[in-house]
Amino acid sequence: MPTNHVPQCSCRSCAEAGISEAEQKLHLQLADENRRRFLKEAGRLGLALGIGGGLLPTPVAASALADTDAQLRRQDMSRNKAVAAGKARMISLLHTADIHSQLHPHDEFFVENGRSVFKKRGGFAHLKTMLHTLRQQNPGQTLLIDGGDCFQGSGVAALSEGRAIVPLMNNIGYDIVLPGNWEVVYGKEMMMKDMFAYDAVKVCANMYHKTTDELNGDLIFPPYFVKHVGGIKIGFIGYNDPLTPKRQSPAYSDGIRFTFPEDNVAKYVKLLREYEKCDLVMLITHMGLAQQVGLANQPQVRGVDYILGADTHERLRQPIQGVHAKVTEPGAFGSFVARLDIVLENGQIKEENYELLDVDPDRYKADEEMSRLVDEAYAPYQKRLSCVLGRTKTPLMRYYVIETPMDNFITDAIMWKFKPDIALSNGFRFCPPLVPDAATGEAIITEDYLWSMLPVDSEAKQGFITGQQLWDWMEKELQNAFAKDPAKRFGGWVVRFQGMRVNFTIGRDAGQRVNSIAVGGKPVQPDKTYSFVACEREGDPDTTICRVEGVKQPKRLGSTLHSIVEEYLKVHSPIAPRLEGRCTATDAPATLLTQLMGYGYEFR
């Protein structure tokens, strides 16, 4: 049946009334249009809809109606007359990123009707079933892409240095993969072994060998890839975060030189457009939403259609339109799949539709083969990783930009163990939530979950700084998170701490954001010396701790963060961490969920 065919109504009332086939077609077309109008009107009125028909008793957010509209647009595209006649082609791109080795379904955080909601999402076996289902909706014309940070973030990943995750990704059957900033966590050689073990094509145009041999100066991975899909020629250029060596321990990326996309992206766009004659040019990036929107506004990316982004775990449900390209990002932890459908006719985009789809275990049955592979990957480490360390009575989560319950727990443990003036933790984003069971009121914290919270078991380190150093460092950290130039923002959130209170204003210029800092309940004194404890960053100078430079009397403390957390839980479990106002902003709520403000984007 042609995809634009309107089925003939078969109801007895039409036949008995003598309604012609043409009138029946018109009736069905009008009914479809009215249905859309009804969906939109229902959203305005706060009604809830069952897609199968009927009103549901609970209200539905307007955002849910937007998702429904996207589904309807995709259905319309599949019925496009030019596509049905073979004059145009519809291609589909499926995009995941920041899976962070989350093998099983897990708690996931949503905001619905202004309140926090947790649902089970993700899991490799369910993800595989979903991706297979989506591929079958446009067979032979669908590409599957991963945007990086896949083989870091769980116990199995850390203990196998990523090796155990590679067969799972190969079983899914990705077409193109990009290394993310955490792909370097096990060192350059292990990154290359894991990445090159992928069956998928690898792309990255800004990671170079920095060595003393014949490889020095060469790209580690191919910079771009050209693929024919359904008669359409698509070029993909890859970029990892150029700030990777500064964002995390420098030792991880030893032997690698990173450059900014602006250094060579125009060259590759020209090659793909003018010489390869690509119909579409896409960037696959792992740089964070703010940097990716900033890149979309740069003249060097003129000729790029989409930037398929990653890194900050943002859930874009509509692309952000930059000056020269649109930007998408597909969430994290294998909880979501971004789907981009594009209709091209004579080399021109005629229609396009983007959706962010939940990996819902209730909707997508676990793939049996993948379930077996996940069990095999987990088996060598099961006894260790299933060990119960403690319990929590409140949700552990890390989605908030300014302060999080999860990191309050970690810095509480550091403060309890060493009793410094200040305990610090990096502004990490990885790790899905852990939500107490409704029946028991508690959630079990296993060693596997500890690895998700802290995928690198670094040693604790103590140092001493003045109040002025503390103030200047806090200004620098806020600049990293909220710089007005997106290219200067790090992918992490605001640094976490215990022992001090900080108030700041996001909208001010660099160096002028901090309004107040109190240590031990008293205003910080510029000339006073304060002790602090944080994790060691391998490769930093001895006098640098947690990006605080010029530290006096630096000292390794002989305990790793994992051991500190385990000791703390033995004494204090069950824990109940909450937001406490340790860090506050005058121009943003404590529940701020994104760095990117002013673009109409809302994390949900």
DSSP per-residue codes, 428-481 = ---S--B---TTTS-EEEEHHHHHHH-SS-PEEEEEEEEHHHHHHHHHHHHHHH
Q: How many angstroms separate the CA atoms of 240 and 256, rounded?
A: 12
What residue ranges of the chain are covered by domains with CATH 3.90.780.10? Answer: 386-585
What pLDDT sits at residue 180?
96
Q: How far is CA 49 from the centre of its chain?
A: 29
C-alpha pair distances (Å), 187 with each of 102, 327, 467: 21, 30, 35
Tokens 């406490």 correspond to 580
What pLDDT sits at residue 363?
97
Asked if residue 94 lies in contact with residue 131, where contact means CB atoms within 8 angstroms, the answer is yes
What pLDDT sits at residue 247?
84
CB half-sphere exposure, 476, CA atoms < 13 A: 12
Identify the H or E element spanning 289.
Answer: helix 289-296
DSSP letter at 548 equals B
Q: How many angstroms separate the CA atoms of 325 and 341, rounded?
A: 16
pLDDT digits (tens, 9 = 90+) for 471-497: 999 999 999 999 988 778 876 789 999
Question: Domain spanning 64-373 has what CATH number?
Answer: 3.60.21.10
What pLDDT sits at residue 604?
84
- Name the stretches of the chain with pLDDT < 70: 1-75, 78-79, 81, 84-85, 491
What pLDDT sits at residue 490?
77
Angle value at C-alpha 179, between 174 and 185, nearest 5 degrees: 125
Q: How many angstroms separate the CA atoms of 145 and 206, rounded?
A: 18
Q: Which one-letter amino acid corresponds to residue 327?
A: V
What pLDDT sits at residue 7?
38
Q: How is residue 33 written in tokens?
A: 């249009």
- Picking from 421, 427, 410, the residue whose alpha carbon sits closest to that of residue 469 is 421
DSSP letter at 434 equals B
- Picking from 109, 152, 178, 112, the residue whose alpha carbon sits closest to that of residue 406 is 109
Is cis: bond before 179, omega within 30 of 0? no
How many other C-beta atoms can be found within 10 angstroms of the C-beta atom of residue 134?
18
SS3 245: helix
Q: How many angstroms separate the CA atoms of 352 and 347, rounded?
A: 14
Q: How many angstroms separate the CA atoms of 425 and 414, rounded?
A: 9
In degrees and rounded to multiples of 5, residue 37 shows phi and psi of -60, -40
Angle value at C-alpha 261, between 147 and 294, nearest 5 degrees: 85
Query: What is the chain's mean pLDDT, rounded?
Result: 88
What residue ranges of the chain are covered by domains with CATH 3.60.21.10? Answer: 64-373
What pLDDT sits at residue 66?
53
| Strand ranges, E, within 469-551 | 496-498, 500-504, 514-519, 522-523, 529-535
Asked if residue 49 lies in contact with residue 62, where contact means CB atoms within 8 angstroms, the answer is no
What pLDDT sits at residue 71?
67
In degrees and rounded to multiples of 5, residue 219 shows phi and psi of -65, 140
CB half-sphere exposure, 5, CA atoms < 13 A: 6
- Picking from 137, 136, 126, the residue whose alpha carbon sits closest to that of residue 172 is 126
Q: How many angstroms separate the CA atoms of 500 and 497, rounded?
A: 7
Q: How many angstroms separate the CA atoms of 240 and 372, rounded?
A: 32
C-alpha pair distances (Å), 506 with each of 187, 408, 502, 570, 584: 35, 21, 12, 38, 10
Asked if residue 369 lies in contact with residue 126, where contact means CB atoms within 8 angstroms, the answer is no
Q: What's the whole-model pTM score?
A: 0.86
Asked if residue 426 lies in contact with residue 535, where contact means CB atoms within 8 angstroms, the answer is yes
The architecture in CATH of the region 386-585 reads: Alpha-Beta Complex (3.90)
